[in-house]
Amino acid sequence: MGFSSFDIDVLVVEPSHMQQRVIGDALHSVGVTRIRHAERGDAALAMMCEAPPALVLSAFYLPDMSGTDLVHAMRADDRLGDIAFILISSETSPQRLEGIRQSGACAILPKPFTHAQLDRAMTATLEYLQPAQSLDLPGGEELEALRVMIVDDSGNSRRFIRRVLENLGIEHFIEAENGRQAVAMLSDNLVDLVITDYNMPEMDGKELVEHIRKQSWQSSVPILMVTSEQNMNRLAAVEQAGVSAICDKPFEPSTIKALIERALAG
C-alpha cells in the first residue's frame, strides 16, 4: 500500500537541521506536505498543545529529554494521548528502546531509513488513525459480541492495543496488569480471545499461557502474545506452552488483524 496522496499534519522533533531536511524530503516523497519542526521536547509539547498533529516523528536523543520521555509526556496528557508516534533513531539498544516499544508507538525507524521502511511505517500509522476494515470472523459470528482480554503491565500499551482493536470493530474488553490478575478475572469471565504481553510482574506471559492451557476452564481460548521480548529461547518456550501466535511491539494493525482472524478460525 503506497502513499502517493497521503497527507496529514506531522510534527518532526529533531535537533539536527540536516536531519530535519532529510526527514522532510522523505515525507514529501510519500505525499506528506503539512510538516512542522521542533528541535527540543519542551517546544514540541507546547506546539502539540496549541495545535495537535496527527503524527509525531521524533529522534531518540533530544537536547532536553529523550524520545521516550517525550512520548511518555504525550501519553500522560489527555489532549495528546492518542497522537500517533514514530521514533527515528540509530539507537539499537533493546534496553533503551523498551520504553518506546511499550508506549504504543506505531513504528521504530532506523537512521538512515529507506523509502520502503518509511512507507511501511506510514501505512501502519494510517491504519491506526483511519481504519478501513473490520475483522472477518468465521462462522458468521457477531463482531459486537466478541470479548477480548488485554493483559499488559503498561497502561500505554493496553491503550494502544485497545484502540487498534476498537478500530477493527471490537467493543467488549477486560484489562489486566499482569498474569496473576488475569487468572483471577478469567475464573469469572468468559472471553473469546486473550492478548498478552510477555514481561510482566507477578506472573509473566509464559506462566499465564501455561496456566490457561493446563488449569483454566477456558483452556482452548486463543492466545495472542504481543511483546517486545527478543530472546528466541524464551519465545520458543512460549510457543511450546501453547500460545496461538506471537507479534512484535510495535506492530502493524494489519498484522494483528490477520493474526486474530487466524487464531479465531482455530
Find the radius of gyration of the CA atoms of the chain. Answer: 19
Residue 227: give the domain boundaries: 138-264
In the chain, the amino acid numbered 241 is A
Residue with cell 492451557: 213
pLDDT at 2: 43
What CATH code is carried by the domain that includes residue 183? 3.40.50.2300
In the chain, the amino acid numbered 225 is M
Domain boundary at 106, 129, 152, which? Answer: 129
Mean per-residue pLDDT, 64-70? 97
Domain boundary at 129, 160, 193, which? Answer: 129
pLDDT at 141: 67
Strand partners, 176: 151
pLDDT at 1: 40
Tell which residue, 56, 26, 61, has the closest CA to residue 40.
61
Do residues 253 and 164 touch, judged by C-beta distance below 8 A?
yes
pLDDT tens string 159-180: 999 999 999 989 999 999 999 9
Residue with cell 496549541: 50
Those residues whose C-beta lies under 8 Å from the C-beta of residue 223, and which sit 6 or more positions away, are 193, 194, 195, 196, 209, 212, 242, 243, 244, 263
- Is the pLDDT at 264 greater than 60? The verdict is yes
pLDDT tens string 99-135: 999 999 999 999 999 999 999 999 999 999 987 778 8
- Is the pLDDT at 5 greater than 80? The verdict is no
Q: How confident is the model at residue 4 (pLDDT cuts 50, 70, 90)?
A: very low
Q: Decide if 192 is inside a domain.
A: yes
Domain boundary at 129, 159, 181, which? Answer: 129
Do residues 207 and 218 touch, judged by C-beta distance below 8 A?
no
Mean per-residue pLDDT, 155-161? 94
Q: Decide if 3 is inside a domain.
A: no
53 and 36 in a single domain? The answer is yes
Identify the weakest region by mean pLDDT among 123-137, 144-158, 244-258: 123-137
- Is the pLDDT at 45 greater than 50? The verdict is yes
Distance CA 38, CA 45 (A): 9
Average pLDDT of the residues of the chain = 92
Q: Decide if 62 is inside a domain.
A: yes
Distance CA 166, CA 128 (A): 10
Distance CA 35, CA 194 (A): 39
Give the count of domains, the chain. 2
79 and 97 in a single domain? The answer is yes
Q: pTM for this one?
A: 0.90
Q: What's the chain's length in residues?
A: 266
Tell which residue, 222, 204, 233, has the closest CA to residue 263.
222
Say how far residue 12 (Cα) sits from the centre of its chain.
20
113 and 165 in a single domain? The answer is no
User: In the chain, what is the straight-line distance between the N-terminal and C-terminal CA atoms, in Å?
Assistant: 28
